Amino acid sequence: MSEHLRPKDISKKTDRLVHVDPAKFPKLPYPYEDWEDPPIPELSDAKKAERDVSLDGVSNLVVPMPKTEAEKEEIVAKFLVGLRKLFSKENNWTFLKPLMLSMDNCVKCNTCAEACPIFQESGRVAAYRPLFRSEVLRRIVKKHLTPGGKLTAKFTGNDIDVNWETVSRLAQLAYRCTLCRRCAQTCPMGVDNGLLSREIRKLFSQELGLSPAELHGDGTIKQLETGSSTGLSPVALMDLIEFAEEDITDRTGLNIKIPFDKSGADILLIHNAGEFLSWPENLEAFAILFEIAGLSWTLSSEMVGYDSVNYGLFYDDAQYARVTLKHAEVARKLGVKKVVVGECGHAHKALMAIGDRVWLAESNVPRESCMATMEDLIVNEKVMVNPERNDFPVTTHDPCNMTRSMGIIEPQRRILRKICPQFREMTPHGVHNYCCGGGSGFAIMQSHNFPEWKMAISGRRKFAQILEAFTKDELKPSVHKYVCAPCSNCKGQIRDIITHFDAWERCGMLYGGLVELIVNCMTDVREGFIEWEDFH
């Protein structure tokens, strides 16, 4: 298939609709101009036999191969039933208005394509155009859900064939978008292709039970059953906290008891549980900062209350609401004055923006970004800092959910400008940032050949931006530099990018959160909180 794929081509019975060709990827900047990307690995024949990969050969959403024609027809019929539900007030009141508006009003100008890092960095793979995915959905809806749609299909361009290939590839296409909404920002009409991707994901999850294992079975289901999407139980959590307290003493000489389940505390702090397992220094830094500042705060050991993750945000309204209501219940029972959301972008959006319409009545405990909490402590000098301890090149990543979807831009910058003498911005930044490439659940999808696709394509622009934030001299491995990623999922993605491109060895590049930088320069804390040689 050529670069100029028509929406109706999605129904073609071919082994592979589009090919990802590393030779077409844009070149990376210094010192990676000569970087050669390997081809995205092919799945084994056994894997290909059990799932459909006829979109692009990549697998993150597993669409099982039907065994008979009747099975195929059944899936198509179910899809069309789900599509009707997607446009009904009873079943989709949550997003019906934005959905209708984005469906009805695209003028097909393709402005979105130039804003989309996945389309651009893939070497302009036609199926990755935001417009391609939206037009497939739009044309199916117009043909099947609009009166007279089939009669006028040729004239209106809605002559798309809804067969099993169409349905399967559309489901997979919804997972070639990080929901970063950069395309929506540039759309002159205000159409939101990110929203449409999410609505497609939702249809497949809520009607056909089709969603990536990392988001559903190993995500929201596990979180609701065990307390955390990481599988971390309340008992195991207490062990980790004990370790964290010991580690604080080792690193800083401070003896800090991390408060749990303190009824009536001012603040309930909720972390992404990924921090407990992968980056304990983040939760340790929060504990140090809040204790030295004398805040009244607590963590929760209640089921779900210690994990701010809510992957329902990315694919399923029911699962989203179930998780966020657990969070609300924990906050209400503790009687805290407010919930402070730790360094996690999607948790910010789940708890504060979308949650705004779900936390009702007595459960509507106010929620605040940790960026605002920390800004108050640093800018108003409630804790003392020595910026000289952070005298190394620092740049920061803007998590899409926190910035583009919530407008939390400046608090983190006012902190960084105060504590990091060598802070510099990426281009573009703030509300116009690029996604880390791990958005919408990509960061935790580590199976099959998706990690290779993710590193080569969805994370490529972010890596280029990071490199461009530093001078050639600064990019020498002997100069330690810090990429601040105040979001757990973004941090995981940036860790994977640095590892993939070997940027710690080649460029001396470390990554971490914002609170670690704060604690690293607090005068009440022993020097050296950030351990440069401990890349993990």
Partner 1 sequence: MLAVQLVTYISVVVAVVAMLVKVYRYATAPEHMRWELYPVPHEKGRADYGGSYLEELDWWSKPRHSDMVNEMKEMAAEIILLKGVFHHNRRVWRSSFPFHFGLYLCIGWLVLLLLGAVLQAFGIDVGATAGGLGRGIHYVTMALGYAGLILGGLGALGLFFWRMSDENQRPFNSPMEYFNLIFFVIVAVVTVLASALADPSFASLRAYVQAVVTFSTAPAIPAPVAAEVILLSLLILYIPLTRMSHFVAKYFLYHAVRWNDEPNVRGSKIEKRIAELLNQKVGWSGAHIQTGQTWGEVIKEPKK
Shorter beta-carbon distance to partner 1: residue 166 or 252: 166
Query: Whole-angstrom Cα distance, residue 314 to residue 318?
Result: 11
- Establish whether the linkage from the previous residue to 29 is cis, with ω within 30° of 0: no
185 forms part of the interface with partner 1 (CB under 8 A): yes
Chosen residue from 188, 388, 533, 536 binding partner 1 by CB under 8 A = 188
Chosen residue from 14, 44, 88, 427 binding partner 1 by CB under 8 A = 88
- Whole-number minimum distance, CB 81 to partner 1, in Å? 8
User: Pairing between strand 394-396 and 367-369?
Assistant: unpaired
Scanning residues 137 to 156, which ones bind partner 1 (CB under 8 A)?
A: 154-156
77 forms part of the interface with partner 1 (CB under 8 A): no
6 forms part of the interface with partner 1 (CB under 8 A): yes
Secondary structure element (H or E) that encloses residue 525, with its range: none
Contact 336, 264 (CB under 8 A): yes
Query: Whole-angstrom Cα distance, residue 387 to residue 103?
Result: 50
- Where b means 16+ CB within 10 Å and e means fewer, 334-343 reads bebebbbbbb
11 forms part of the interface with partner 1 (CB under 8 A): no
Q: Which stretch binds partner 1 (CB under 8 A): 36-44, 251-259, 356-364, 513-521?
A: 356-364
Shorter beta-carbon distance to partner 1: residue 390 or 403: 403
Chosen residue from 120, 206, 300, 401 binding partner 1 by CB under 8 A = 206
Scanning residues 399 to 418, which ones bind partner 1 (CB under 8 A)?
A: 403-411
Chosen residue from 52, 192, 199, 496 binding partner 1 by CB under 8 A = 192
Shorter beta-carbon distance to partner 1: residue 106 or 518: 106
Task: Tell which residue, 481, 514, 519, has the closest CA to residue 498.
Answer: 481
All residues at 6 or more sequence positions from 473 whose CB lies less than 8 Å from its CB, including other chains: 479
* Inter-CA distances, 46 with 50, 65, 71, 475, Å: 7, 12, 20, 43
Query: Whole-angstrom Cα distance, residue 36 to residue 125?
Result: 18
Shorter beta-carbon distance to partner 1: residue 38 or 209: 209
Query: Whole-angstrom Cα distance, residue 528 to residue 520?
Result: 6
Q: SS3 of 459, please?
A: coil
| 3-state SS, one letter per residue, for 91-103 | CCCCCHHHHHHHH
Alpha helices in 187-339 (DSSP H): 193-208, 222-226, 234-252, 274-278, 280-293, 312-315, 317-334
468 forms part of the interface with partner 1 (CB under 8 A): no
Query: Whole-angstrom Cα distance, residue 475 to residue 469?
Result: 10
What angle, rounded to 10 degrees, do the helices at 96-104 and 193-208 form? 120
What is the chain's Cα-based Rg?
23
Chosen residue from 16, 19, 108, 526 binding partner 1 by CB under 8 A = 108
Q: Which stretch binds partner 1 (CB under 8 A): 17-25, 185-193, 281-289, 527-535?
A: 185-193
Amino acid at 71: E
Scanning residues 34 to 63, which ones bind partner 1 (CB under 8 A)?
A: none
Scanning residues 207 to 246, which ones bind partner 1 (CB under 8 A)?
A: 207-209, 216, 221, 224-225
Shorter beta-carbon distance to partner 1: residue 237 or 303: 303
Query: Whole-angstrom Cα distance, residue 97 to residue 80?
Result: 20
- Whole-number minimum distance, CB 158 to partner 1, in Å? 8
Total binding residues toward partner 1, as defined by CB under 8 A? 98
303 forms part of the interface with partner 1 (CB under 8 A): no
Chosen residue from 171, 268, 269, 354 binding partner 1 by CB under 8 A = 354
370 forms part of the interface with partner 1 (CB under 8 A): no
110 forms part of the interface with partner 1 (CB under 8 A): yes
Chosen residue from 357, 381, 388, 473 binding partner 1 by CB under 8 A = 357
Q: Which stretch binds partner 1 (CB under 8 A): 79-87, 254-262, 476-484, 523-531?
A: 79-87
- Whole-number minimum distance, CB 57 to partner 1, in Å? 21
- Whole-number minimum distance, CB 335 to partner 1, in Å? 15
Query: Whole-angstrom Cα distance, residue 381 to residue 373?
Result: 12
Shorter beta-carbon distance to partner 1: residue 101 or 213: 101
Q: Which stretch binds partner 1 (CB under 8 A): 12-20, 230-238, 314-322, 435-443?
A: 314-322
186 forms part of the interface with partner 1 (CB under 8 A): yes
189 forms part of the interface with partner 1 (CB under 8 A): yes
Shorter beta-carbon distance to partner 1: residue 43 or 208: 208
Residue 472, classified by CB atoms within 10 Å of its CB into exposed (0-12), middle (13-18) or buried (19+), is: exposed
Query: Whole-angstrom Cα distance, residue 130 to residue 147?
Result: 26
174 forms part of the interface with partner 1 (CB under 8 A): no
Shorter beta-carbon distance to partner 1: residue 47 or 337: 337
Angle at 96 between CA 91 and CA 99, to 5 degrees: 130
Chosen residue from 172, 197, 319, 390 binding partner 1 by CB under 8 A = 319
Chosen residue from 42, 71, 242, 356 binding partner 1 by CB under 8 A = 356
- Whole-number minimum distance, CB 227 to partner 1, in Å? 13
Chosen residue from 74, 104, 242, 505 binding partner 1 by CB under 8 A = 104
Two tokens, residue 506: 């080649």
Query: Whole-angstrom Cα distance, residue 335 to residue 318?
Result: 26
Chosen residue from 171, 309, 352, 522 binding partner 1 by CB under 8 A = 352
